[in-house]
Amino acid sequence: MKLFISAILKFIFGVALVGLLIFLPAGTFSYFNGWLLMGILFIPMFLAGLVMMAVNPELLSSRLNAKEKQREQSTVVKLSGLMFTVGFVLAGLGERFGWYTLPRYVCITGAVLFLIAYAIYAEVLRENTYLSRTIEVKEGQKVIDTGLYGIVRHPMYSATLLLFLSMPIVLGSVYSFIIFLAYPFIIAKRIIHEEAYLEENLAGYSEYKSKVKYRLIPFVW
């Protein structure tokens, strides 16, 4: 019950925060792209939370823990938060002041890409029950090298790359998209630091690195 209440409260806080960042700068609730993003973001999130609550509450608990213990990773989280804040506010301001908005069909395409990325993210969670939002090695944790982990070493970050770059497209904001282009660099910094930590603390990770060459995008990096 404590986990359920914590999850619901964080979900409500997330909905309120994102809504505030988008609709307050827009100066209106009549912002189709804003509602489209809110829908494809929070409805699947709510359903996924219910599934994890029923099937794997430990995974849900670890996903709710977002406090980084390592100083460098805490900086990465703060930079990501700044990116989201600026990006969402710019999209809202674009709606208010009539800045150039991407065509509706482009925004819908972005929504489809977002949902595909969500499905990939869900598959990663199914494959790796050790996943948490912070960098850590849990007792009994083993290297996962099958499924998506046999293609890239960090498929969760690959999914978030597609998720986050599609967000400003859904919102129809070119200016927001420019801000979100910072994410690949932010996540690359996190991955480099995370891999150094895993090599030192997770048995078999060095061998896994030699087996799976690419970190984030096949044949690229």
Is 169 inside a domain boundary?
Answer: yes
Q: How far is CA 65 from CA 3, 133, 135, 167, in A?
A: 11, 6, 11, 23
* 217 lies in some domain: no
Cα dihedral sign for 121, 192, 80, 105?
negative
The whole-number average pLDDT for the span 200-215 is 88
The CATH number of the domain where 112 resides is what?
1.20.120.1630
- Does 216 map to a domain? no
User: How many domains in the chain?
Assistant: 1
Whether residue 219 is contained in a domain is answered as no
Sequence-distant contacts of 101-104: CB under 8 A, at least 24 apart: 101/33, 101/172, 101/173, 102/169, 102/172, 102/173, 102/174, 104/172
Helix, strand, coil abundance in the chain, percent, nearest 5 = 75, 0, 25
Residue scoring higher pLDDT (4 or 149): 149
pLDDT in tens, 117-133: 999 988 888 887 766 55
Specify the pLDDT at position 144.
Answer: 84
For residue 60, the number of C-alpha atoms closer than 13 Å in the C-beta half-sphere is 23
Nearest to 158 by CA among 107, 106, 201, 119: 119
Q: What is this structure's pTM?
A: 0.86
Domain with 77 in it: 2-211
12 within some domain: yes
Which tens digit of pLDDT belongs to each residue from 153-166?
A: 999 999 999 999 99
| Domain assignment present for 90 | yes
For the chain, the straight-line distance linking the first and the last C-alpha, in angstroms and rounded, comes to 42
